[in-house]
Structure 1
Amino acid sequence: MGGLEETVVLVTGATGFIGSHLVKRLVGEGAEVNIISRSKEIRGNLLLKNLKTEIRIHKADLREYASIKECVNNVEPEKVFHLGAFVDLKRDFQTANECVQTNIQGTLNILHALRDISCSSFIHIGTYEVYGFNPVPFREDQPIDPLSPYSISKACSEFFCRFANKIYNIPTVLLRLSNVYGPNQKSERLIPHVIKCAIKNMKIKLTEGNQTRDFLYVEDAVSAIVKSSLAEKAISEVINIGSGKEYKVRDVVQKILDLMGSSIAPRYGELKHRAYEPERLYCDITKAKGILKWSPRYDLEEGLRKTIHWYEENMGR
């Protein structure tokens, strides 16, 4: 398995949470990093603002084929990391149109643009939410059962990636990530929300908190993404990326508060649990360990400590 030094890479969704961590890693690996962004200006992303001189920013919109085609032709990427997506936190049907335009049409646009480019790997970042109410731990050979506009759109994108693999011979790798957390994540997510509330001594309103999730530290997620782009055996495969462990939301919240020395009492049950949301989500990562020779480096406590430290250092910046 070679490295990424001087490899021309293209990253969609680079200004997002996982995307910005990936860009930082790719720059550190010595890759020639190109990113797609709707704006040439990178505002509000603490990770990327110090990397502006080390990356090339291409103004383009995933929803507009002409701009994506022009970008791909100019870059001629050897590897593509497709993280660009509309992330619907509410999982609300009213957002279905945006999910279709960005997540499905956007994926189609970049796949079409790549059909005459000889890239060595196309990494599609999906979600383990496509498994829906399947028995846990989720395995890659289980039938998918997406239950929200977001997960439906990501599942549909996977099918188009498989189609492009067969028709255009684009070497696609389909990763299904669990709940990724870490520095620089938006506060709408559980872990940064609890951390910020604890720092500001604010009320923490949550659902009952009995649901379980698979939480993965972002540096581990990025490591898996990079390894998937270098592993020939990963081509045409679907691979789960997670901690492989199941954590109750209540326990994670309490762990954060304990690590921060906070006495705030979370107000469980003040937020409604979505009726169609599975009670348990976590994945089997045996395949990732075998094909990618990857396993998580950080346990939950260590990942939370690093995340808490970052927010304590950067809140308000």
Structure 2
Amino acid sequence: MTSLNGKRVLITGATGFIGANLARMALLEGSDVYIITRTESDKWRIGDILGDIVEYNADYDVDLLDQDKLNRIIARIRPEVIYHTATYGGRPGQKDTLKIVQTNLIGTINLIKACRKFGFDLFVNTGSSSEYGVKERAMHEGDLLEPVNDYGVSKSAATQYCRAVAKNEDLPIVTLRLFSPYGSYEESTRLIPSVILSCLKGMKPKISSPYFVRDFVYIQDVLDAYAKLSNVPCLSGEVFNIGSGKQCTVGDVANKIIELSCGGFELETGAPQAWPNEPKKWEADISKANDILGWKPKYDLENGLAETIRWFEKNINLYGDCRDAT
């Protein structure tokens, strides 16, 4: 069990949607925050807090794929809590299979190897609902993993490695398997930001097919799940689904945004499409997180969207260049 106050917290992927929000949360909790960034990382999400955190980038010759270099950086930081969110392959256009495997699996293995040399209180691996593949009912942590793409394969392999090394060596490593987070600092090309930004700019929102289903979970609920792990006895190797527990169509989400923000617009959709392996069921069974962590979402879809819309109204200047970096 550990509290974040005064802890050395290392965040990988801190320039991304989840990582940037975690960095802000850790700072608010009184942590000493360290981040590892890539040369090409766009730091627009954390530009205003860079003065409050310690960044290790190309100037320090750090690389998650180079064990020796990574060992040297970890030896300097000696992190007590690690939030591992660095990822690749979950967005359209990220199709380099080798890079997917290197980033999601090898990077995870190397980071754990480096951190365990010095000990740590908590290592949180950020998983994905894509690990499950196509299911016909709400996805449960005990389900057989049957991923249908390179990203899902690599993320499931990373989770399995985390489980194995945690169990074999009694290490405090936990995986949070995220479904479809949304909220502050999400990239503009994603469904919810794209519809919100269209409304705020007085443009008719457009989406492809309105029939795809997802389990959307508000970012503050996601952060609450990470925080819960710092306040309960660590269960080495455990995996927890983090979603709303309810699926909805992307068309319903888009129409709700229109209702809450601009009204008057009619959603423009493309022709119905049948994507390979597109599921008819995409919903998290969140009973395990509730039972063991005492976690459940506090925001329903309408409240989460309303909060997100208000945030975008106040921070639309950040999206002047149509930010789409992950």
Same fold by TM-score greater than 0.5: yes
Determine if contact 1:220/1:296 at 8 Å carries over to the other structure: yes
Any unmatched runs of 5+ in structure 1?
A: none
Q: Which position in structure 2 is the counterpart of 1:44?
A: 44
Q: Which position in structure 2 is the counterpart of 1:79?
A: 81
Change (3 A) 1:306 1:6: same
Deviation at 1:69, TM superposition (A): 1.5
Q: How does 1:1-317 map to 2 (within 5 A)?
A: 2-39=2-39, 43-45=43-45, 48-59=46-57, 60-90=62-92, 94-270=95-271, 272-317=273-318
Determine if contact 1:7/1:32 at 8 Å carries over to the other structure: yes
- The amino acid that maps onto 1:232 is P
Measured in 1, the distance between the counterparts of 2:270 and 2:230 equals 42
SS at match of 2:144: coil
Bigger shift: residues 151-160 or 263-272? 263-272
Determine if contact 1:228/1:234 at 8 Å carries over to the other structure: no
Measured in 2, the distance between the counterparts of 1:20 and 1:250 equals 28
Deviation at 1:42, TM superposition (A): 6.6
Measured in 2, the distance between the counterparts of 1:289 and 1:267 equals 38
Bigger shift: residues 55-64 or 297-306? 55-64
Change (3 A) 1:39 1:271: farther
Measured in 2, the distance between the counterparts of 1:16 and 1:272 equals 29
Q: Deviations over 1:269-317 (max 9, x none)?
A: 3474521222321101111111111111111111111111121222233
CA RMSD, 1 decimal: 2.1
Measured in 2, the distance between the counterparts of 1:184 and 1:150 equals 22
Bigger shift: residues 262-271 or 210-219? 262-271
Aligned residues: 314
Measured in 1, the distance between the counterparts of 2:36 and 2:274 equals 35
Change (3 A) 1:91 1:226: farther
Bigger shift: residues 117-126 or 157-166? 157-166
Runs of 4+ in 1 over 4 A off after TM superposition: 39-42, 270-273
Change (3 A) 1:95 1:264: farther
Measured in 1, the distance between the counterparts of 2:199 and 2:41 equals 32
Give percent identity, aligned residues only: 34
Determine if contact 1:139/1:240 at 8 Å carries over to the other structure: yes
Deviation at 1:41, TM superposition (A): 8.6
- The amino acid that maps onto 1:214 is D
Deviation at 1:234, TM superposition (A): 3.2
Q: Deviations over 1:50-80 (max 9, x none)?
A: 2223211112332332332121111111111
Q: Which position in structure 1 is the counterpart of 2:324?
A: none
Measured in 2, the distance between the counterparts of 1:301 and 1:211 equals 19
Determine if contact 2:171/2:236 at 8 Å carries over to the other structure: no
Bigger shift: residues 59-68 or 119-128? 59-68
SS at match of 1:223: helix
Q: Deviations over 1:191-245 (max 9, x none)?
A: 0011112222334332321222111110110110121243224322111111111
